[in-house]
Amino acid sequence: MKYDLNRRRAPLVNITPDSGFSYIAPTHRLGLSGHKGPSEAQVLEDGAPLPGPANDLHDNIRTIGRGRFSFWHDYVYFSTSDNTDPRANGRKYEITFRSRLFSRISEFLGNACRWGRSIPVTGHSKPVNLSARDSSAEALRRDVDYAVQIGQNYIRLLPDGRDTLVGKTILEIGPGINFGSTLLVAAMGARAMVADRFLSPWDSDYHPKFYTLLRQWICSNVTGADLRALDSILLNGGYTPESVGCYQVPLESLKGIADNSVDIVFSNAVLEHLSDPQGSFRQLARISRRNALGYHQVDFRDHNDFSKPLEYLLIPDKEFEKDFNQRHAERGNRYRPTDYSHFFEASGFRVTRFSCSCFVDESYLTAFVPRLRLARGSRYKNAPVEDLREVSGLFCLERI
């Protein structure tokens, strides 16, 4: 593939098996998702595009493979060209996608040429949770796959698996466009709550179909499941206090959630988008019972370009704060894992484990540090090099 300034590349890391020939890797880029229409993003194998088809059915990726792939929410489902394991075949896997910057420049210049005047850029994209839903059969099936994957990952983290959940109150921070992963966990005997600043509203065309499919999956795959929450949702055509507690509040406040009321808190790629992590963690401590557990996967990379994960540390603080607010915090907040460990501990948690899942490339880091030392107006100008190496990981917490 020729180098194209209009496109960006990002390596695929944290690749995990899905089923059959299919593997899954996080992209952390919801804008690449094909759930509302075909995605133009590609998967590269040693620099060459996989043969595809792109945007293929997940069942085809699993059963046929041979380079098929699909971008779905902030993950990519893919198979290698020869159906070997991408974690062991010695090849490099990346994604490539159209640069948002160059897309906007092209559109701007094109409009300016047609209309003979400058075109002001106004407004910002609304959060994904508030966007229209794709209720096609394939989209619904993929959404259920994704929710099940996240929910199963949560359950695997628990000390006694599903047995840990019986009779407990759980809270998922930032559940996304549906509450599928939360309700899967609830089906193991827990009372479920969700909280999000932009909580996804009920969609009468999408959610009844989604929860019906999720219920079918649970019935087929989970023995002894408690389906009362899902049944209540489907019977009432919406969320009820008996099915799931819904709190449309930012983590910085968690207004409405009682003190000492939660046993387990989960989040996946959410905490890096907080404007006030210290205040947020104090709220988590407020609502958590003594010895409550917390599991938080946090991505500390610059979400503009994962191949250059530290670039936003170069930006002057005031300039970054403005960009952070205008873009709904989608770029990430720049805090480092050591900062979060200190914030958690100061808020009343014990960090029982931090498992780093992604390290910065050493050649990139070597070239980056001298640039950082010259950065004016950035509080990270003199950050220790050791604080820059870890760029993604899982925090396991216990309330003390």
Tens digits of residue pLDDT in 122-157? 344 566 677 778 889 988 988 898 899 889 989 999
Per-residue pLDDT tens listing for the chain (400 residues): 444 446 788 999 989 888 899 999 988 887 788 766 678 899 999 999 999 889 888 878 988 999 999 998 778 999 999 999 999 999 999 999 976 544 443 443 334 333 333 333 334 456 667 777 888 998 898 889 889 988 998 999 999 999 999 999 999 999 989 999 999 999 999 999 999 988 999 999 999 999 999 999 999 999 999 999 999 999 999 999 989 999 999 999 999 999 999 999 999 889 999 999 999 999 999 999 999 999 999 999 998 887 889 999 999 999 999 988 887 788 899 999 999 999 999 999 999 999 988 899 899 999 999 999 999 999 999 999 999 999 989 999 999 9
- Domain membership of residue 17 (yes or no) is yes
* Total domains, the chain: 2
CA 154 to chain CA mean position, Å: 14
Q: Is there a contact between 133 and 140 (Cβ–Cβ < 8 Å)?
A: no
- Domain membership of residue 122 (yes or no) is no
The per-residue DSSP string of 208-219 comes to HHHHHHHHHHHH
Q: Which amino acid is at 286?
A: R
- Domain membership of residue 125 (yes or no) is no
Residue with tokens 């193991």: 188
Residues 259 and 318 in one domain: yes
Residues 268 and 149 in one domain: yes
Domain residues for the domain of 90 are: 7-100
For the purposes of burial, counting CB atoms within 10 Å of the CB of 370, is it exposed (0-12), middle (13-18) or buried (19 or more)?
A: exposed
Residues 93 and 163 in one domain: no
Residue 373 makes CB contacts below 8 A (sequence gap 6+) with: 381, 382
- Domain membership of residue 290 (yes or no) is yes
Q: Which amino acid is at 161?
A: G
Angle at 197 between CA 387 and CA 356, to 5 degrees: 25
Residues 55 and 147 in one domain: no
Please state, as a whole number, how many other Cβ atoms lie within 10 Å of the Cβ of residue 205: 10
- Among 62, 80, 100, the domain-final residue is 100
- Domain membership of residue 16 (yes or no) is yes
Residues 214 and 75 in one domain: no
Tens digits of residue pLDDT in 359-399? 998 999 999 999 999 999 999 999 999 999 999 899 999 99
Q: Which amino acid is at 207?
A: H
Note the pLDDT of residue 119. 31
- Among 100, 122, 148, the domain-final residue is 100
